[in-house]
Amino acid sequence: MTVVEEPTQARTGTYLYGVVAAGRLAAGVFDGARSVDGEHAVRLVPAGDVAAIVSDVPLSEFDEDVLPARLNDLAWLEDAARAHEEVLERALGQTGVVPFRFCTIYRSEDDLLRFVVERADDLCRVLDGVEGRIELGVKGLVARDVLEGALRSHVGAEESGPAEGSGRAYLLRRREDRRLAEESMRFLADCATAATARLERAAVAASLIPVRPPERDAAETMFLNAAYLVAAGDESLAREAEALAAEYEPFGIRFELTGPWPPYNFVPRDVLQP
Amino acid sequence: VSSRELDSRGGGPAQLPDVLERILDKGIVVAGDIQINLLDIELLTVKLRLLIASADKAREMGIDWWEGDAFLSRRHEPHGLDERLRRLEEAAGLPTANGDSE
């Protein structure tokens, strides 16, 4: 028996960016939007009370056997990731969005619709919770040398010790360095605790993201990475972050606000799972 | 270092790492028919290339607070260094870090 397969190039899957409530997006909201494959148009597929934001993708690029290699291609990844995000941001400008994860792909639009319809109740519940709301990110960054310098001057100048160059002097210096390192860890822990408490009060909900490792040769290290759900247009979280930045500036600490984001960190994982 | 920098991006592009850490969900695609475990295929290597180049170096320095779920979950690993320092301190007649007071 011979099975004649269509050439891979011709086959497409359906890529799911996110879900919105039915009837909320203006016609043309995705006109000119770049899709994850850069070719197929982004479109809205109604499914009862909700609508799915989708585009077709060639399985020659997005199927299981080729996707891993693509994902390790940084240029490809960046284009596709930014396209995913920008499509969702267009929707976010008009209504609440349940963002789906990067590369959520169905083999056909029917399969995708079956999933969305099965999940409609959960999706509607989440949409109610995020309607009129956006995610903001706050990153806490520290220049450790500045912090240690500030703490050193608070603690007082080092006492005059044994002659420079002696083993004893070396050990004393090592101990002082270690003490400063521990001191700055404690300071950062306190700072992170205080900052998150204050930021949380200015938000509907909060979620902590794992802190990222230091970049090579970066002057700053991240010590806090958090996401907040806030009402669109509410400036109080931004103001609180600004106040924190001003207070902690002398210690080499900076707070960076990012967003608005689709509420990636505020969609329960089980809603996205098959 | 300028102080009150609050980079709300206001139309400008987001930083790629900020985008990736949101859309990747810990590296696993959780829905859809195309199932790949990004950790298996080391998508993380992509993130790593972007972000972690110096992780080992930082870990050597005892900076490892990005590990684990909570922020600042710094472990006191049996590094050997602390122990060695303590022995040297004892040998030099200095009070050890554990026993001393200001």
Over residues A169-196, the pLDDT tens digits come to 888 888 888 888 888 888 998 999 999 9
pTM of the model as a whole:
0.75
Give the pLDDT confidence of B16-70 residue by residue, as tens digits.
888 888 887 644 444 455 555 544 433 433 443 333 333 444 444 444 444 443 3
- The kind and range of the H/E element at A72 are none
Residues 6+ apart with CB under 8 A from B91: none
Residue A252 has pLDDT above 60, yes or no: yes
Contact A274 B58 (CB under 8 A): no
Instruction: Confirm or reject contact between A185 and chain B (CB < 8 A).
Output: yes
Sort out which chain B residues have CB atoms less than 8 A from A112's CB and list them: 32
Instruction: Confirm or reject contact between A81 and chain B (CB < 8 A).
Output: yes
Residues 6+ apart with CB under 8 A from A115: A106, A274, B31, B32
Helices (H) and strands (E) in chain B, counts: 4, 0
Largest interatomic CA distance in chain B: 67
Per-residue pLDDT at B73: 31
Contact A249 B3 (CB under 8 A): yes
User: For residues A163 and B81, which has the higher predicted lDDT (pLDDT)?
Assistant: A163
Sort out which chain A residues have CB atoms less than 8 A from B15's CB and list them: 258
Instruction: Confirm or reject contact between A270 and chain B (CB < 8 A).
Output: no
Instruction: In whole angstroms, give the CA distance from residue B21 to residue B16.
Output: 9
Contact B92 A167 (CB under 8 A): yes
Q: What is the ipTM of this complex?
A: 0.86
10 Å CB burial of residue A158 (0-12, 13-18, 19+) is exposed
A83-109: average pLDDT: 93
B78/chain A closest Cα distance in angstroms: 15
Six token digits for residue A57: 């993708």
